[in-house]
Amino acid sequence: MDKKIASYLLASLVQRINRDQIGSVSDQEKEALAFALQMLSDGVAPVGIASVPIVSPVASASEPPLPINGIEIKPPKVAPPPLPDVTLVLKAVKSSEPSDKGVLLCLDFGTAMSKAFASTTDGEHLDLELGKAAGKQGYTLPSSVFIDDDGKAYFGFEAVERSWNLKEAGRERLDSIKSWLSLREEGSLDGEILSDAYNPTPFKLSEGDMIRIYLAFLTDMAGISLSEWTVDGKAVGRYVLRRFARPCGKSPRQAAWVDGLMKRLLAEAQVLADTFHGQWGGGISVGRIKAAMEALKALTKRPDYLIDEGVPEPVAVAAGAVASSENRIDAYMVVDAGAGTTDFGLFFVMRNKSLEEPKVFQIPASIKGLNQAGDKVDQLLQAFIRARESFDPTSTLGKLVEADLRRRIRVLKELLFTTGKLDYVLADSTEGTVALDEFLKAPSVQQFTKRLEDGFRESLEAVDKSYLDYLAMDPVRLQVILSGGSSKLTMMSSLASGYIEVNGRKIRRAAVDAAPEWMGDESDEMMAVYPQLAVAIGGAFDELPSTEFGPAELARLTRPTYVASNLHVSGS
């Protein structure tokens, strides 16, 4: 009998048992029938029996029993297949010093997009086109991993492309994995196992594993980009000293935890980058990744010599502005507007005769994050167009139009905010126009703009009144530095001008261009992407100001005897 026919007949029998109560069928027999149907249909319900849900034979034992037309069964325990043989490439481990002592790399592992930049001690700046290294174009990589039903993990652009049409099937793409670091203060990420929605394979992976393998992908793309540069007549090697950008942290404890964890993960990522070099395109089987992780964790030595200090992201962004500061005290609000989050942080820069270099004090209470940014504007624009054209996103045609619009919405948003007008054609050939002014006046957009302003205010409201009293003095200005891929949006740029009232005090804001002086000699293309690369560029500065957590009150900050926490970042 044909396999498909057998599965159809068996599914029909299950239906008859539930509908007509044929004879006496034991629970064990029902379980056997359900399991046999699963095996025959390869996990997919036969045509015509779509109402019969199929239980995955590798479902987690912690999940509740799933029904098949009223028959509750427990999924059989299936041992995972044996791991394939994977031999780690240990070239980095066998060395003991960086390959190019005059080159410093900074890796910016972003929430939505990741970037990298490098500089030399001779003042040369090496821009790294990570997108090009990954087979696309541009300087950024999506911070995304997707495990497809073919058992392979895909990274960056491929992860986004492969995952487009599978969300409705209960599958999820791993995005914003950096938040696993920024939202915690302690613990091990290796104890957090991915759910089946993220990893449908029998090879279980942890959150720590996914950060390692993504950082390996980022590390390898940076290495490929570096190799296109020459310094002193020879190509730059893969094993240069590197800093890493990290969330500024809400406390010394969190900062220390993230620093220690990132140093270990990045060192291990170099080994994985060498092991999977040239294999990222087309995906890597999860079984091979799991085998590599097991071998990696058994190593007794890592290439720790490659990893320098972590740099707080706002400090990296403000490095250029701090270097040119001449006042005794300067106050900066750094607003990092990415795709998924908008982060706020207040910093004071001290400069006096006793300090050879300016010192940056991060005011911990001001560090706030808003889970809305550029992606939110994408959603608002998509909803605006949907309402204007009145198509039904639940109909067959409407789903096609909605899916096509969702794929193109980021580009459409950029056109709207760049030119002030958007002419669009939907998948059903509907043509329309949106003017930037009318979009900004939409109630939903006005509400989002207000939420950003409220986030800025909440960051300031959290600090001691002594800081606010100083900021409200004339002619003091709160210098606002905007960074991130969404920083040029109108609602973001409005945060850097005008007055803001905080607890009865009026504080004057002024936009500051934090781009280093040498950026003026760069191409228009490079200048256009500077906001996205600001963290990586600043983090690659040869000398960075020391950074400490500031005291609760401004008066203590100005005392020469003030001793801050032991958080310290300085040039190598």
For the segment 110-119, the average pLDDT, to the nearest whole number, is 91
Residues 287 and 143 in one domain: yes
For residues 453 and 500, is the Cβ–Cβ distance under 8 A? yes
Q: Clarify whether residues 232 and 317 are in a common domain.
A: no
pLDDT band at 63 (very low <50, low <70, confident <90, very high): very low
Q: What is the mean pLDDT of the chain?
A: 83
Predicted confidence (pLDDT) per residue in 465-506, tens digit: 999 999 999 899 999 999 888 899 999 999 999 999 999 999
**Could you give the count of Cα atoms lying within 13 Å of 191 in the half-sphere of its Cβ?**
3
Residue type, position 288, single letter: R
Q: What would the pLDDT profile of 430-448 be if each residue is shown by its tens digit?
A: 999 999 999 999 999 999 9
25 and 141 housed in the same domain = no
Q: What is the pLDDT of residue 367?
A: 82
Judgement on whether residues 243 and 386 belong to the same structural domain of the protein? no
Residues 313-360 pLDDT 10s: 877 887 777 766 666 788 999 998 887 788 898 989 887 666 667 788
DSSP H/E element including 459? helix 443-461
**With 60 as the cut, is the pLDDT of residue 44 above it?**
no
Domain for residue 563, yes or no?
Answer: no
Query: Which of the two residues, 223 and 404, has the higher pLDDT score?
Result: 223
pLDDT at 85: 94
Rounded Cα distance between 30 and 25, Å, is: 7
Query: At 419, which CATH number?
Result: 3.90.640
pLDDT for 129 beyond 90: yes
**DSSP codes, 418-433:** HHSEEEEE-TTS-EEE
pLDDT (average), residues 193-208: 93
Q: Which residues contact 45 (CB under 8 A, 6 or more apart)?
A: 11, 52, 53, 54
Q: Judge whether residue 203 has pLDDT over 90.
A: yes
Indicate if 146 and 282 belong to the same structural domain: yes
Integer CA distances (angstroms), 274 to 220, 224, 268, 271, 280, in order? 7, 11, 10, 5, 11
Full residue range of the structural domain in which residue 9 is found: 3-73
Reply yes or no on whether the pLDDT at 256 is more than 90: no
pLDDT of residue 318: 78
The pTM for the full model equals 0.75
Question: 244 lies in a domain?
Answer: yes
Give 425-434 contacts, CB < 8 A, sequence gap 24+. Answer: 426/385, 426/389, 426/391, 426/401, 427/400, 427/401, 427/403, 428/391, 428/397, 428/400, 428/401, 430/389, 430/391, 430/401, 432/385, 432/388, 432/389, 434/381, 434/384, 434/385, 434/388
Q: Are 434 and 421 in contact (CB under 8 A)?
A: yes
Residue 483: the pLDDT is: 87
Q: Give the SS3 label for residue 434.
A: strand
**DSSP string of 100-157, one letter each residue:** -TTEEEEEE--SSEEEEEEEETTS-EEE--HHHHTTS-SS-EE--EEE-TTSEEEETH
Q: Clarify whether residues 206 and 345 are in a common domain.
A: no
Name the domain boundary from 42, 73, 104: 73
**pLDDT tens digits, residue range 70-114?**
555 555 556 778 999 999 999 999 999 999 989 999 999 988 889
Asked if 213 and 225 sit in the same domain, the reply is: yes
